[in-house]
Protein backbone atom coordinates (compact mmCIF):
# COMPACT_ATOMS: atom_id res chain seq x y z
CA UNK A 1 0.00 0.00 0.00
CA UNK A 2 1.41 3.40 -0.97
CA UNK A 3 2.12 6.12 1.59
CA UNK A 4 -0.65 8.28 0.11
CA UNK A 5 -3.17 5.42 0.28
CA UNK A 6 -2.23 4.61 3.88
CA UNK A 7 -2.67 8.25 4.78
CA UNK A 8 -6.08 8.32 3.13
CA UNK A 9 -7.20 5.22 5.01
CA UNK A 10 -5.94 6.64 8.30
CA UNK A 11 -7.63 10.01 7.76
CA UNK A 12 -11.03 8.53 6.91
CA UNK A 13 -11.10 5.56 9.30
CA UNK A 14 -9.70 7.01 12.52
CA UNK A 15 -12.45 9.62 13.01
CA UNK A 16 -15.01 6.82 13.14
CA UNK A 17 -13.12 3.73 14.28
CA UNK A 18 -10.12 3.76 16.61
CA UNK A 19 -8.18 0.56 15.80
CA UNK A 20 -6.22 0.85 19.05
CA UNK A 21 -9.40 0.48 21.06
CA UNK A 22 -10.64 -2.36 18.88
CA UNK A 23 -7.31 -4.16 19.28
CA UNK A 24 -7.51 -3.80 23.05
CA UNK A 25 -10.33 -6.39 23.06
CA UNK A 26 -7.66 -9.04 22.50
CA UNK A 27 -6.24 -8.18 25.92
CA UNK A 28 -9.54 -8.84 27.69
CA UNK A 29 -8.63 -12.44 28.68
CA UNK A 30 -5.46 -11.13 30.33
CA UNK A 31 -7.52 -8.53 32.19
CA UNK A 32 -9.92 -11.20 33.51
CA UNK A 33 -7.01 -13.41 34.56
CA UNK A 34 -5.39 -10.50 36.43
CA UNK A 35 -8.71 -9.68 38.08
CA UNK A 36 -9.02 -13.26 39.28
CA UNK A 37 -5.49 -13.18 40.71
CA UNK A 38 -6.14 -9.86 42.45
CA UNK A 39 -9.34 -11.13 44.02
CA UNK A 40 -7.48 -14.08 45.50
CA UNK A 41 -4.91 -11.73 47.05
CA UNK A 42 -7.40 -9.09 48.24
CA UNK A 43 -8.92 -11.19 51.00
CA UNK A 44 -10.09 -8.14 52.98
CA UNK A 45 -11.49 -6.22 49.99
CA UNK A 46 -14.60 -6.58 47.91
CA UNK A 47 -13.63 -6.40 44.24
CA UNK A 48 -16.81 -6.21 42.21
CA UNK A 49 -16.90 -6.73 38.46
CA UNK A 50 -19.44 -3.89 38.26
CA UNK A 51 -16.80 -1.50 39.62
CA UNK A 52 -14.13 -2.61 37.15
CA UNK A 53 -12.62 -0.08 34.77
CA UNK A 54 -10.76 -2.09 32.11
CA UNK A 55 -7.58 -0.39 30.88
CA UNK A 56 -6.45 -2.91 28.33
CA UNK A 57 -3.70 -1.35 26.24
CA UNK A 58 -1.44 0.45 28.71
CA UNK A 59 1.03 -2.41 29.28
CA UNK A 60 3.71 -1.03 26.94
CA UNK A 61 7.50 -1.44 27.06
CA UNK A 62 8.01 2.35 26.88
CA UNK A 63 6.05 5.38 28.00
CA UNK A 64 4.06 6.65 24.99
CA UNK A 65 4.02 10.38 24.21
CA UNK A 66 3.29 12.79 21.39
CA UNK A 67 6.71 14.06 20.23
CA UNK A 68 5.30 17.33 18.86
CA UNK A 69 3.71 18.41 22.11
CA UNK A 70 6.41 16.96 24.36
CA UNK A 71 9.29 18.73 22.64
CA UNK A 72 7.57 22.01 21.82
CA UNK A 73 6.63 22.51 25.48
CA UNK A 74 10.19 21.81 26.56
CA UNK A 75 11.52 24.12 23.83
CA UNK A 76 9.32 27.06 24.84
CA UNK A 77 9.87 26.59 28.56
CA UNK A 78 13.64 26.62 28.16
CA UNK A 79 13.60 29.69 25.94
CA UNK A 80 11.42 31.61 28.42
CA UNK A 81 13.74 30.60 31.23
CA UNK A 82 16.58 32.20 29.26
CA UNK A 83 14.91 35.46 28.19
CA UNK A 84 12.87 35.86 31.41
CA UNK A 85 10.00 38.09 30.24
CA UNK A 86 7.96 39.92 32.88
CA UNK A 87 4.79 38.48 31.35
CA UNK A 88 4.13 36.02 28.57
CA UNK A 89 1.07 35.86 26.32
CA UNK A 90 0.04 32.56 24.76
CA UNK A 91 -2.61 32.18 22.10
CA UNK A 92 -4.38 28.85 21.94
CA UNK A 93 -1.58 26.43 22.84
CA UNK A 94 -1.89 23.32 25.02
CA UNK A 95 -3.47 24.23 28.36
CA UNK A 96 -1.42 21.50 30.04
CA UNK A 97 1.73 23.33 28.96
CA UNK A 98 0.30 26.68 30.09
CA UNK A 99 -0.43 25.35 33.57
CA UNK A 100 3.27 24.46 33.98
CA UNK A 101 4.60 27.67 32.38
CA UNK A 102 2.52 29.74 34.81
CA UNK A 103 4.74 28.59 37.67
CA UNK A 104 7.71 30.13 35.85
CA UNK A 105 6.26 33.35 34.42
CA UNK A 106 2.84 35.07 34.63
CA UNK A 107 0.87 33.98 31.55
CA UNK A 108 -2.07 35.59 29.82
CA UNK A 109 -3.81 32.81 27.92
CA UNK A 110 -5.97 33.79 24.94
CA UNK A 111 -8.30 31.33 23.25
CA UNK A 112 -11.34 31.36 21.00
CA UNK A 113 -12.88 29.07 23.61
CA UNK A 114 -12.01 30.78 26.94
CA UNK A 115 -10.32 28.68 29.62
CA UNK A 116 -12.36 28.63 32.84
CA UNK A 117 -9.80 28.09 35.59
CA UNK A 118 -8.64 29.81 38.75
CA UNK A 119 -4.89 29.32 39.14
CA UNK A 120 -2.24 31.79 40.29
CA UNK A 121 -0.09 32.93 37.38
CA UNK A 122 -2.76 32.48 34.68
CA UNK A 123 -5.06 35.15 33.32
CA UNK A 124 -7.56 33.77 30.82
CA UNK A 125 -8.90 35.99 28.03
CA UNK A 126 -11.41 35.17 25.30
CA UNK A 127 -10.06 36.20 21.93
CA UNK A 128 -9.90 35.45 18.23
CA UNK A 129 -6.63 35.06 16.36
CA UNK A 130 -8.25 37.07 13.62
CA UNK A 131 -8.33 40.07 15.95
CA UNK A 132 -6.32 39.81 19.14
CA UNK A 133 -7.31 42.07 22.07
CA UNK A 134 -3.93 43.84 22.14
CA UNK A 135 -2.57 47.06 20.67
CA UNK A 136 -0.03 47.15 17.85
CA UNK A 137 3.52 46.34 18.97
CA UNK A 138 2.51 46.02 22.62
CA UNK A 139 3.77 42.57 23.67
CA UNK A 140 7.34 41.44 24.27
CA UNK A 141 6.80 37.67 24.57
CA UNK A 142 4.13 35.69 22.68
CA UNK A 143 3.64 32.05 21.75
CA UNK A 144 1.16 30.10 19.67
CA UNK A 145 2.11 26.45 19.36
CA UNK A 146 0.31 24.04 17.03
CA UNK A 147 -2.46 26.60 16.54
CA UNK A 148 -2.36 28.65 13.35
CA UNK A 149 -2.61 25.54 11.15
CA UNK A 150 -6.21 25.17 12.37
CA UNK A 151 -7.40 28.73 11.80
CA UNK A 152 -10.07 29.06 9.13
CA UNK A 153 -10.94 25.36 8.90
CA UNK A 154 -13.98 25.59 11.19
CA UNK A 155 -12.83 22.71 13.38
CA UNK A 156 -13.20 24.68 16.62
CA UNK A 157 -16.20 26.72 15.57
CA UNK A 158 -14.25 29.51 13.91
CA UNK A 159 -15.11 31.10 10.57
CA UNK A 160 -14.16 29.20 7.39
CA UNK A 161 -11.29 31.10 5.71
CA UNK A 162 -8.89 29.70 3.13
CA UNK A 163 -6.25 32.26 4.18
CA UNK A 164 -6.83 31.75 7.92
CA UNK A 165 -3.29 30.67 8.79
CA UNK A 166 -1.67 33.56 6.98
CA UNK A 167 -4.01 36.08 8.60
CA UNK A 168 -3.40 34.52 12.04
CA UNK A 169 0.36 34.78 11.56
CA UNK A 170 0.05 38.44 10.55
CA UNK A 171 -2.06 39.15 13.64
CA UNK A 172 0.58 37.59 15.88
CA UNK A 173 3.20 39.66 14.07
CA UNK A 174 1.18 42.86 14.63
CA UNK A 175 1.32 42.69 18.44
CA UNK A 176 5.08 42.04 18.81
CA UNK A 177 6.92 45.08 20.12
CA UNK A 178 10.49 46.06 19.14
CA UNK A 179 12.94 43.55 20.65
CA UNK A 180 9.96 41.28 21.37
CA UNK A 181 9.87 37.54 20.69
CA UNK A 182 7.31 35.36 18.96
CA UNK A 183 7.34 31.57 19.31
CA UNK A 184 5.32 29.61 16.75
CA UNK A 185 5.07 25.92 15.94
CA UNK A 186 3.23 24.25 13.06
CA UNK A 187 3.20 20.92 11.23
CA UNK A 188 5.91 20.94 8.55
CA UNK A 189 6.46 18.72 5.53
CA UNK A 190 4.67 18.28 2.24
CA UNK A 191 2.53 21.41 2.03
CA UNK A 192 -1.20 20.59 2.04
CA UNK A 193 -4.60 21.16 3.64
CA UNK A 194 -5.91 18.19 5.66
CA UNK A 195 -9.46 19.52 5.97
CA UNK A 196 -10.75 20.06 8.60
CA UNK A 197 -7.97 18.89 10.92
CA UNK A 198 -5.03 21.13 10.04
CA UNK A 199 -2.66 22.42 7.39
CA UNK A 200 0.95 21.33 6.84
CA UNK A 201 3.50 23.92 5.73
CA UNK A 202 6.88 24.17 4.15
CA UNK A 203 8.99 26.05 6.76
CA UNK A 204 9.80 28.85 4.30
CA UNK A 205 6.06 29.57 4.01
CA UNK A 206 5.89 30.51 7.70
CA UNK A 207 8.88 32.82 7.28
CA UNK A 208 7.13 34.61 4.40
CA UNK A 209 3.99 35.01 6.52
CA UNK A 210 6.02 36.89 9.14
CA UNK A 211 8.07 39.10 6.87
CA UNK A 212 8.29 41.99 9.37
CA UNK A 213 10.07 39.75 11.87
CA UNK A 214 13.46 38.10 11.83
CA UNK A 215 13.86 34.35 12.25
CA UNK A 216 16.24 33.84 15.16
CA UNK A 217 16.28 30.05 15.23
CA UNK A 218 14.41 27.01 13.98
CA UNK A 219 14.01 23.65 15.71
CA UNK A 220 12.42 20.50 14.41
CA UNK A 221 10.75 17.23 15.30
CA UNK A 222 11.05 14.87 12.35
CA UNK A 223 8.75 12.06 11.21
CA UNK A 224 10.51 9.64 13.58
CA UNK A 225 9.89 11.87 16.61
CA UNK A 226 13.52 13.02 16.90
CA UNK A 227 14.14 16.57 18.13
CA UNK A 228 16.80 18.78 16.52
CA UNK A 229 17.49 22.16 18.07
CA UNK A 230 18.96 24.86 15.87
CA UNK A 231 18.14 23.04 12.63
CA UNK A 232 18.11 24.53 9.14
CA UNK A 233 14.79 25.16 7.41
CA UNK A 234 15.84 22.75 4.69
CA UNK A 235 16.10 19.96 7.26
CA UNK A 236 12.32 19.65 7.00
CA UNK A 237 12.36 18.95 3.29
CA UNK A 238 11.07 15.46 2.55
CA UNK A 239 9.14 15.17 5.81
CA UNK A 240 5.49 14.15 5.83
CA UNK A 241 4.32 15.44 9.22
CA UNK A 242 7.05 16.97 11.34
CA UNK A 243 6.81 19.85 13.79
CA UNK A 244 8.64 23.09 13.05
CA UNK A 245 9.36 25.46 15.95
CA UNK A 246 10.17 29.04 14.99
CA UNK A 247 11.54 31.82 17.19
CA UNK A 248 11.11 35.27 15.66
CA UNK A 249 12.08 38.72 16.89
CA UNK A 250 11.28 42.28 15.89
CA UNK A 251 14.20 44.60 15.34
CA UNK A 252 14.57 47.61 17.61
CA UNK A 253 13.00 50.68 15.97
| pLDDT string in tens for the chain (253-residue length) | 566 777 777 677 667 766 667 778 888 999 999 999 999 999 999 999 999 999 898 889 999 999 999 999 999 999 999 999 999 999 999 999 999 999 999 999 999 888 999 999 999 999 999 999 999 999 999 999 999 999 999 998 889 999 999 999 999 999 999 999 999 999 999 999 999 999 999 999 999 999 999 999 999 999 999 999 999 999 999 999 999 999 999 998 7
Distance CA 68, CA 187 (A): 9
What is the model's pLDDT at position 17? 67
CATH 3.40.50.150 domain range(s) in the chain: 67-249
Distance CA 139, CA 89 (A): 8
Q: Does pTM surpass 0.75?
A: yes
Query: Cα Rg for the chain, rounded, in angstroms?
Result: 22
Cα atoms in the Cβ-side hemisphere of radius 13 Å centred on 210: 29
Those residues with Cβ within 8 angstroms of residue 134's Cβ, 6 or more apart along the chain or in another chain: 89, 175
As a CATH number, domain 67-249 is 3.40.50.150
What is the model's pLDDT at position 2? 67
Distances in Å between the Cα of 196 and the Cα atoms of 146, 151, 241 are: 14, 10, 16
Those residues with Cβ within 8 angstroms of residue 114's Cβ, 6 or more apart along the chain or in another chain: 124, 125, 126
User: Helix, strand or coil for residue 220?
Assistant: strand
Amino acid sequence: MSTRLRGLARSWLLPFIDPRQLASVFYLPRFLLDLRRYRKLATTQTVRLADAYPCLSDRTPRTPFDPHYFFQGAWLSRRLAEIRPERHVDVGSSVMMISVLSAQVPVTFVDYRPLSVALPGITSVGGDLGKLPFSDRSLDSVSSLHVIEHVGLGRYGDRIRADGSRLAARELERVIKPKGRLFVSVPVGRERVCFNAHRVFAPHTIVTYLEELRLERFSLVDDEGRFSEGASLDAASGLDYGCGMFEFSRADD
